[in-house]
Structure 1
Amino acid sequence: MVMSGGGQGDPRDDETTAEEAVVVDYSFQNHADQVLRKGRHAGSNFRRTIFDRADLTEGDFTDCDFRRASMVEADLMKSAFDNSDFRGADLRKARLNLSNFRNCQFKGADLRGIRGKYAIWQGSDWWNATMDDDLRKALAKKWPKPE
């Protein structure tokens, strides 16, 4: 198994290799199996994009629109999705561990079978998504629904 690592040369940590965000509009397009590893696409439009089995690891997807996107079995590990919109997205069996989902919207999203127990869900409405009971229990302990 190949593990992706940060450290030297990682644009998120090393200012000498930092890249400017490239805003893209992939809405309503098929990008299944595409490799966007370490992509810097903050503020991009991925509405209804097909990212099945795509590699979006170690990227910056802050403030992006993923509404109704299909991301079945996609690898999203170690990426930032802060303030992104995943309403109605299909993320079944996606790998979300070690990613940031601060203040994201998940109403109607399908998160069944995901690996996301070790992601950061602060301020996100994960309870409005469809997910496995064991993940729901783990997230409820660490990121409880506000009263």
Structure 2
Amino acid sequence: MQTNKHIGRVLKPFELDHIGSNEVPMVRFGLAVKRFPSVKAKTDFIYYVAYRDVAERVFKYANQKGLPVEIDFTQQSRTFENAEGKSVYRVENVVEKFMPWASLDKQSGQQTDATAHDTPVENEATLDDFEQQLPNDYEVY
């Protein structure tokens, strides 16, 4: 199985849903991912799904528009019947792991660096460290 990694910013806040008879937690969300670190580079809008405890943690720690997040995911395909009885084939990006590159300060509503006490981040790198390495003409969105 191939594991992929994307780094981007959360498109918009999302909801935690519970699916199936077992009420499995699930979130669907999107990231804006730059193809290259350049002003002229295109941005791709890529969507992901997370289940169970990963879904609960993504909802708790990465549910903020514009928050930079690193996602490790696998692509999984499935076939199911929709409400009209037609067979539907779908490929999904299923989140295995994630790491916010910043956190949301719950009192002020402002983003802080990744070393905030309430974020389960073991990496000491911050968004500021990343931005200092970028060329001057790079547009942070």
Q: Quick check: TM above 0.5?
A: no
Larger RCO (alpha carbons 8 Å, 6+ apart): 2
TM-score by length of structure 1 reads 0.25
Q: TM-score when scaled to structure 2?
A: 0.25
